[in-house]
Amino acid sequence: MANKITKEQIDEIVKNSKFDVKKVFGKCTVVSMQLPNGFVLVESSACVDPNNFDFALGQQICKERLINRVWELEGYRLQSELYEKNKPLNCKICIVETKSIGLTVGKIYEIENGYFKADDGCEYPINSQLHNEDELREYLSAHKNDNKYYFSADVTKFVVVKE
């Protein structure tokens, strides 16, 4: 996943959206935009003197505002996806089987913000943070001290404890 939103993505969303345009009270343009996923955005443009009202200009102003809002919404969506993908792991695990002297079978370990404390009281991993169960599985199955983990877990089996 790219860490940016492109004009082409926004253009595609706009192209696949439905629009409803209304003239209200003789001096206001209201444009509603239903995005492809069903979400609805509404913008308006008005003037003080009805003699100055320009329906086409009102549509243009509203559409520009709506497109700017789509950029914001897509940016928020992307930021949320990146956060979810990279947020630290928080869970509890129970060691079922291990050859490690640093972890106890049957003991519940809490992983908080991507780190946990082994029986020696040290927080692991030392130079990285766990973000998902796959990383945790890789970490706990490490058989040697290496530059990535600095911990020899050699856990052959663990379970995530559901509360």
Give me the residue spans of the domains in the chain.
7-86, 91-161
Question: Based on C-alpha coordinates, what's the Rg of the chain?
Answer: 27
Global pTM?
0.68
3-class secondary-structure state, position 28? strand
3-class secondary-structure state, position 118? coil
Q: pLDDT tens digits for 135-151?
A: 888 888 765 454 444 44
Q: pLDDT tens digits for 62-88?
A: 999 999 999 999 999 999 999 888 889
